[in-house]
């Protein structure tokens, strides 16, 4: 859990700071805020799926869906980045 959950945070923070040299404090705060929003939404989604009587495995499927959406956003961002360069 620590490897997959917490290790990417420092790499993402470094990437955010690389692209926000003019205002690193605001970018850093926004980055950490997005992690907190993600934690809250993930907990809410897991609780919602269980409360809908979909079983205790349903949060895993919800997390898989969130991960798939995140990867889609990443691929779109990478494609747009390469177009701009």
What b/e string do you get for 14-23 counting C-beta neighbours within 10 Å, with b at 16 or more? eebeeeeeee
Specify the pTM. 0.70
**pLDDT tens across the length of the chain (85 residues):** 667 767 777 888 888 888 888 888 898 888 889 889 988 999 999 999 999 999 999 999 999 999 899 899 889 988 887 775 5
CB 31 within 8 A of CB 13: yes
CA nearest neighbour of 74 among 32, 3, 15: 15
What's the total number of domains in the chain?
1
**CA–CA separation, 20 vs 28, rounded Å?**
9
> What domain range includes position 32?
2-84
Predicted pLDDT of residue 24: 86
Predicted pLDDT of residue 84: 59
CA distance between the termini of the chain: 36
């Amino acid at each position: 859990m620590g490897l997959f959950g917490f290790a990417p945070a420092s790499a993402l923070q470094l990437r955010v700071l690389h692209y926000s040299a003019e205002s690193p404090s605001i970018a850093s705060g926004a980055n950490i805020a997005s992690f907190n929003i993600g934690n809250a939404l993930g907990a809410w989604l897991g609780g919602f799926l269980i409360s809908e009587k979909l079983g205790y495995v349903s949060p895993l499927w919800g997390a898989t869906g969130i991960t798939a959406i995140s990867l889609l956003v990443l691929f779109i961002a990478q494609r747009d980045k390469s177009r701009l360069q």
